[in-house]
Amino acid sequence: MDQLEALLFDVDGTLADTERDGHRAAFNRAFAEAGLDWNWSVELYGDLLAVTGGKERIRHFMEEYSPAWPPQDDLPSFIAGLHKRKTHFYTEAMRQGEIPLRPGVRRLMEEARAAGLRLGIATTTTPENVTALLTCSIGPEALNWFDVIAAGDVVPAKKPAPDIYTYAMDRMGLGPASCVAFEDSAHGVASAAGAGIDTIVVTVNDYTRDQDFSGASVVLDGLGEPDAPCAPLSGELVGREFVDLALVRHWHERAVSR
């Protein structure tokens, strides 16, 4: 049986609830700075999350919602410029510690490292955003916890395409049966499953709670903590009240022995 060797983490929605008050707020600050009357409400942003990637999301908004914008000779550069400023505002907010890690994330990562497992990141967001979140929520040493931080435009196709997970595993020299993926969204589950990863743990959040997680091993409301139990939406905790490495190994062994 393939041994569990690595935990692969999505970032936005999984490591931290970054979308509503982090990314969405940063997009709106960039739009305001550019003099655009665009404002992504909490509800509209939930719809726009159907498109992964910030630049792709801005273009989708322009095409689908036809907001006003000044004539542009080079639309891709206009979008890239807006996104660059959005990333500036987002990393500034992360550096101020505005958004903490979700319960159980740091505990599970530290337990896995102590047990000799490897860690990787597979995310659609930019590397700068990952660096800012990890540095400010754990410390600069956290960047050395991961064998690979696969992020953003490093692959041609973003989630739900499998590219980012395939890239991460290739860089780690691992096959999918040696990995467990942690995700928060249907796009993320599709990406990990598309890369052949059987064991996918979903920790839903307010934006993703009602999505279709076909292909996931277990769906939870979070990883939980010893003093703050998590609840399964599907799958079982086999008598445990929070996700620890033993439970992850149980799900992995069950998946690879199927």
Phi, psi of 170 (to 5 degrees): -60, -45
Q: Does 28 sit near ligand XBP (CB under 6 A)?
A: no
Contact predicate 169/176, CB 8 Å: yes
Q: Is 56 helix (H, G, I), strand (E, B) or coil?
A: helix
Q: Does 53 sit near ligand XBP (CB under 6 A)?
A: yes
Just list the catalytic residues: 10, 12
Contact predicate 123/163, CB 8 Å: no
Residue of 4, 25, 40, 52 that binds ligand XBP (CB under 6 A): 52
Q: Which residue, 165 or 251, has its beta carbon nearer to ligand XBP? A: 165
Q: Does 12 sit near ligand XBP (CB under 6 A)?
A: yes
Q: Is 25 helix (H, G, I), strand (E, B) or coil?
A: helix
Q: Does 17 sit near Mg ion (CB under 5 A)?
A: no
Show Cβ contacts of residue 25 under 8 Å, excluding neighbours closer than 6 positions: 89, 93
What part of residues 148-187 is at the interface with Mg ion (CB under 5 A)?
Answer: 184-185
Residue of 124, 178, 203, 217 that binds ligand XBP (CB under 6 A): 124
Show Cβ contacts of residue 98 under 8 Å, excluding neighbours closer than 6 positions: 21, 22
Q: Does 126 sit near ligand XBP (CB under 6 A)?
A: yes
- Cβ 12 to Mg ion, closest distance in Å? 4
Residue 20 backbone class (left: φ over 0; alpha: ψ -120 to 50; beta: rest): alpha
Q: Binds 244, which of Mg ion, ligand XBP, none (CB < 5 to 8 A, cut-off by type)?
A: none
Q: Using CB under 6 A as the criterion, which residues of the chain lie in contact with ligand XBP when the complex forms?
A: 10-13, 19, 23, 52-54, 123-126, 129, 159, 185, 188
